[in-house]
Structure 1
Amino acid sequence: MSEILDAARLYTRKGWVIHPLLSPMAVEGEKPAVSAGKRPLLAKWEQRGLATEQELLDWFGDNQSSRFKSSNIGLVLGRKSNLLVIDLDKLDWVNVIFPPEQKASENTIKAGRISGRGHIYFKFTDKIKNCKLHDFGIEVLSDGAQVVVPPSTHKEGQQYKWQLPEGTVIETVEPSELPGTSIEAIKLLQSLEGKVKACRPCFKWVINQSKDPMHGTTGRRLMLATATEMKAEKVTLPEMRLYLKKVYGEKYDAARTAEEWKNVNENKRWQCNTIRENFPEFERMCENCPKKVLDRDYIDLEIVKKAKEVMSTGDPISYILDTWNKFHAGDRPLGFILMCSAVCSSIENSDGLPVNFNGDSGGGKSHASRSMLHLIPQRYWINRSISNKALFYSDSVKPDMIFFSDDAQMSDDFKAIFKKSVSDFQESVEHETVSIQRKSELLKAPPRLSWWLTSVTDIGNEEVERRCVKINVEVSEQRKQLISDRLQKRRQSCEAKYPEDIPEVKVCRAIFKELKSKKERVVWDFPIHFRKDVSLDTQNIVYELLIGTALINKYRRERTEDGAILASREDFKQVIGNFAAISDTQQSKLTKAELLVARYLKQVGEASGNTIQEYFHKSRMWVSHIMNGRNGDGGLLTKLPNITLEDVTTKDEIESVRKQVYKFVGEWDEFACYEKVATIDDSMEEAK
């Protein structure tokens, strides 16, 4: 014990107040004692003065009692010994607190037992109090605190040793004063640590890393994400400077920091899914994250892997439609059209593929659309009313989105902007109007909006209407039974309307995310021949379906020398097959119900409203909608010149009766081209 006793006497001569600590080898029962080697053995040790020689002998001499056997030396800090210690559990922040050029830590007393941590001694100052920055590994020890001093031994066996300025010895060396800059830095770090605690666990992990991953391209992205998180938690520029000094060391640039800090937008905190996509190593922290965002669109790496497998070696179109049919019965051609429409915004040479549904209530139009949207990451679609405010005054409507609406009517301003949006798909569009206050307003809509409208009967312009894919959902008895069976199955099993727990749903979202993550060009190298009576608008719809199909199949398709996806004949065959199922509506632009009534009138020549009502087992209102449109501005009388409404007089045995009848006049070959609108003309290829 002579070494310990000699050291205790030396420290006492220096005016340091010491006291005995529990032996590092102490046990309690069969286990090592709590705080062995560090626990004070005397009551009110912090109130003691300088030890007497007898006390030193009692604590550290050869004849010490069992209570003090193998004791370590503790040093009372603060005013008692005129000492303050900075205890560093790691050296991450040492150059931030003590800038190397000041040499403050080099010119004072230090002690430690292993590299990478230790005690730095300074003269006592009342300008800073005890504080513990646990996450940063920093603790300030002053009044009421104590430290273990050499040559004490740690419970793990290492001995504490002094690290002194060159040319000095412990007998005569005195600690330096703690620089004011160091005091200010510690106080800023104290504030910073509190704000970092409020950050999400992944960012706390990054900030508290000893080896900073902030270099290279990935490092720049990570720094942007981290800075945004920190600024969102009210970190100030002076606080941020300390963190950046820790990260960049000698390469820290104060002017650049100030400039870039201005550009950090604290309102654009990175979403959890974006963080995981960019930095997959963070995913392990998400499970227990108390602040994690419940992100519907989050897709883990295994799902991404499965999606790429489906796209590369499977059939992504069938996979998506099979998943869609898990909660929407039938209608696969309809689903195919929606799928192609959804990806058009990712094709550089696309003119867009707006979809306009028709059909009676209860046919599942909205459910079909919502079921497909359920398979698409939510960032890519929005469900809104078709009002001016919903589109023009909302920053939630972004480029490349699907705009889905169940509303039945458009305002005149909305019709105008809709026309421009459909006509100039790749461009953002503007429309000037007059507000309620009679002031001129410029309304804008972002580019590449894909419109899915389920109830609008009057789009406002025949030219625009022709550019929409019109899909009619007929409410037949068979269809009613399908819907009924599906509803019963869902309610019986307590299944959600749009279930999240189906693994294939996540895979579909990953597929759509991949398809919509970059812009592609799509071309084809075979001649397409359309029937003579197929309009240019219908031809363009077929082209859009073709390039959309090829995009979905892009990992199974060849590319041209300049990188464009090359659509295949198989893609064309799939397009024509699905188009045939809805081609009657594409040619006539009539709803399914309107087509049925038109066929009936062509067959019978003329019929009254009551007769039509009885024949189709429908209401008088239904007949009015078919003939005049839901708002009195459409219907067969407007769409089909062959049908007229005439006043006729009939006579019976008693009196003459005047009534209105609907008549079908002239020739109508609208239904001659339903089966195939186009074929591949190999003779044209051979002629070349």
Structure 2
Amino acid sequence: MLREGDPIQYILDSFAADHEGDEVVARCLIMSFASRSVINSNGLHVLVTGESGKGKSHAFDTMIQHIPKEFRLDGRLSDKALFYAEDLRAGSAICLDDISLSEQMQETLKGVTTSFKKPFIYRTVNKDRKGQTCVIPERCVWWVAKMDGTGDDQVWNRMLTCWIDDSPEQDEKVLTRELFAAAQLPDETEHVRDEMIVCQHIWAQLLPAHVVIPYAEQIRFSSVANRRNPGMLLDLVKSVAIIHQYQREETELKVGRVIHATTEDFKIACQMYQALNGESGGQMSKLTRSESELIQAIEKTHRYEFTVTELRDLLPDKSYNAIRKLLNGGSSHQAHYSGLLEKCPAISVLDRTDTSENGGTSRRQKVYYWDHDRYVAWASGGGCWLARNDAHDDDTGGSGGSGRK
């Protein structure tokens, strides 16, 4: 599989055997775990948002079964538990599933992701009031599932931000699968599927290496306003290449093995990057799916002024308070979550007092204004492509050959 097949597709097929849909989420988790093996990667971490009960936890539980047991860490964690976890190994996947990220946990997350290539050190005192140094190992990747996001822009900016599929069509597919499973006789063997074991061995066989992108100077972006996003695309390319390392050109240097990424690796990474900036995520905008749906509904009206009641009519499945929360944000467990007024520059609000024609009755309300031109300028930054360079077209390895030096 590693030398002649498609290991990414094999893992996706095994994931799909236990979880319906959410392929982009699965791809993000695969790329994230692969990034730990890329020596010159800054690490890829994943934030999945979506409504409660739509499959975020199940997606994490399914994918984590596909990686070796010694590199899994899930379940509930206190703010400082990671610093004292004796079984936490370098390169582990740390799952935080639908819990509120306290300020301390968010600071830890920012510190660990910034210090991806080296251990993160935390100094404290023990019960005897003596100094103690605690360490979170290097190259750990974080998988975070939240309904409303993290609430901290600095955390959002460090992660691949994707949405769980909570569409009615997905609901129907999940129900069909559940009904089919309920009609089957139980499996008497109750063993781990062979495909899962193969996936675990795939990860075990991947060796750390540097990855070079020979055509990197040909990569173009429609926007570089967020300086972390171009780096994430490059790390996506490197992750694709490292998974296919036994099918890629390799060079031995004093610093170690160097894998040469091909244009096919860029194509796969580019498709993911564009999906995360389109129908499956909010990489550039940092929007949740519900926020994106509200914006798309506003756009379709071709209007520029709305009250909350009028906006609720655009999304009849949302309550009045849910619309207010999408616009203004909210708080949960002392953590603040930004709304569209903070995230999207095309929306503004004004306190307005309306007076009846005879001047006898007045009503004060908040009115939200929509700027279409500003939205177009803000939302057009999720594209990437490879500029043509005839002088190097034959050197980019587009065929994905396995030549070695």
The two structures share one fold, judged by TM-score above 0.5: yes
> 8 Å contact 2:308–2:367 — kept in the other structure?
yes
Where does structure 1 lack aligned partners over 5 or more consecutive residues? 1-309
In structure 2, give the amino acid aligned to 1:566. H
Distance 1:646 1:683, change over 3 A: farther
**Corresponding residue for residue 580 of structure 1:** 274
**Corresponding residue for residue 618 of structure 1:** 318
CA distance in 2, matches of 1:494, 1:625: 45
Which residue of 221, 225, 238 corresponds with 1:531? 221
Aligned Cα root-mean-square deviation (Å): 2.8
Cα deviation, residue 417, structure 1:
1.6
CA distance in 2, matches of 1:395, 1:424: 19
Cα deviation, residue 495, structure 1:
6.0
Which residue of 328, 345, 352 corresponds with 1:641? 345
CA distance in 1, matches of 2:327, 2:77: 25
**Corresponding residue for residue 290 of structure 2:** 593
Cα deviation, residue 523, structure 1:
1.4
Alignment of 1:384-399 (within 5 A): 384-399=75-90
CA distance in 1, matches of 2:129, 2:307: 47
Q: Secondary structure at the match of 1:398?
A: coil
Alignment of 1:395-406 (within 5 A): 395-406=86-97
Cα deviation, residue 561, structure 1:
4.2
Q: Secondary structure at the match of 2:19?
A: coil
In structure 1, give the amino acid aligned to 2:339. G
CA distance in 1, matches of 2:228, 2:54: 27
Q: Secondary structure at the match of 1:360?
A: coil
**Corresponding residue for residue 519 of structure 1:** 208
> 8 Å contact 1:643–1:662 — kept in the other structure?
yes
Q: Secondary structure at the match of 2:234?
A: helix
Distance 1:424 1:456, change over 3 A: farther
In structure 2, give the amino acid aligned to 1:670. W
CA distance in 2, matches of 1:613, 1:431: 47
Q: Secondary structure at the match of 1:347?
A: coil
Distance 1:401 1:421, change over 3 A: same
CA distance in 2, matches of 1:612, 1:430: 48
Alignment of 1:415-434 (within 5 A): 415-432=106-123
> 8 Å contact 1:408–1:456 — kept in the other structure?
no
Cα deviation, residue 421, structure 1:
0.7
**Corresponding residue for residue 679 of structure 1:** 386
> 8 Å contact 1:384–1:403 — kept in the other structure?
no
Cα deviation, residue 485, structure 1:
1.6
**Corresponding residue for residue 569 of structure 1:** 263
Which residue of 182, 193, 207 corresponds with 1:491? 182
Give the TM-score normalised by structure 2: 0.83
Which residue of 657, 660, 664 corresponds with 2:366? 660
Q: Secondary structure at the match of 2:25?
A: helix
> 8 Å contact 1:386–1:414 — kept in the other structure?
no
In structure 2, give the amino acid aligned to 1:462. D
Q: Secondary structure at the match of 2:313?
A: helix
Cα deviation, residue 684, structure 1:
7.3
Q: Secondary structure at the match of 1:661?
A: strand
CA distance in 2, matches of 1:537, 1:520: 22
Q: Secondary structure at the match of 1:312?
A: coil
> 8 Å contact 1:409–1:456 — kept in the other structure?
no
In structure 2, give the amino acid aligned to 1:578. M
2:193 maps to 1:502: yes
CA distance in 2, matches of 1:660, 1:407: 32
Which deviations, in whole Å up to 9, do the C-alpha atoms of 1:23-67 show, x marking residues without a partner?
xxxxxxxxxxxxxxxxxxxxxxxxxxxxxxxxxxxxxxxxxxxxx
Cα deviation, residue 614, structure 1:
2.8
Distance 1:526 1:390, change over 3 A: same
In structure 2, give the amino acid aligned to 1:454. A
Cα deviation, residue 549, structure 1:
0.7
Which residue of 147, 154, 169 corresponds with 1:463? 154
Q: Rg larger in 1 or in 2?
A: 1
**Corresponding residue for residue 609 of structure 1:** 308
Distance 1:558 1:621, change over 3 A: same
In structure 2, give the amino acid aligned to 1:446. P
Q: Secondary structure at the match of 1:588?
A: coil
Q: Secondary structure at the match of 2:250?
A: coil
Distance 1:606 1:500, change over 3 A: farther
Alignment of 1:142-541 (within 5 A): 310-432=1-123, 444-455=135-146, 457=148, 459=150, 461-493=152-184, 500-515=191-206, 518-527=207-216, 528-534=218-224, 535-541=226-232
Give the TM-score normalised by structure 1: 0.50
Cα deviation, residue 458, structure 1:
5.7
Q: Secondary structure at the match of 1:574?
A: helix
Cα deviation, residue 683, structure 1:
5.0
> 8 Å contact 1:417–1:431 — kept in the other structure?
no
> 8 Å contact 1:410–1:456 — kept in the other structure?
no
> 8 Å contact 1:324–1:371 — kept in the other structure?
yes
Cα deviation, residue 620, structure 1:
2.9
Distance 1:433 1:419, change over 3 A: farther
Cα deviation, residue 587, structure 1:
1.5
> 8 Å contact 1:324–1:372 — kept in the other structure?
yes
> 8 Å contact 1:356–1:456 — kept in the other structure?
no
Where does structure 2 lack aligned partners over 5 or more consecutive residues? 396-405
CA distance in 2, matches of 1:455, 1:620: 22
Q: Secondary structure at the match of 1:667?
A: helix
Which deviations, in whole Å up to 9, do the C-alpha atoms of 1:205-243 show, x marking residues without a partner?
xxxxxxxxxxxxxxxxxxxxxxxxxxxxxxxxxxxxxxx
Q: Secondary structure at the match of 2:249?
A: coil
Which deviations, in whole Å up to 9, do the C-alpha atoms of 1:262-290 show, x marking residues without a partner?
xxxxxxxxxxxxxxxxxxxxxxxxxxxxx
2:378 maps to 1:670: yes
Distance 1:407 1:439, change over 3 A: farther
> 8 Å contact 2:106–2:155 — kept in the other structure?
no
Which deviations, in whole Å up to 9, do the C-alpha atoms of 1:345-386 show, x marking residues without a partner?
112111100111111112212212221111111211110334
Which piece of structure 1 moves more, 522-531 or 447-456? 522-531
Q: Secondary structure at the match of 2:264?
A: helix
Q: Secondary structure at the match of 2:43?
A: coil
> 8 Å contact 1:422–1:464 — kept in the other structure?
no
Name whichever structure is richer in strand by fraction.
2
Cα deviation, residue 456, structure 1:
6.9
Distance 1:550 1:596, change over 3 A: same
Distance 1:359 1:407, change over 3 A: closer
Distance 1:684 1:371, change over 3 A: farther
Q: Secondary structure at the match of 1:564?
A: strand
Which piece of structure 1 moves more, 605-614 or 312-321? 605-614
> 8 Å contact 1:432–1:440 — kept in the other structure?
yes
Identity of aligned residues (%): 27
CA distance in 2, matches of 1:440, 1:492: 59
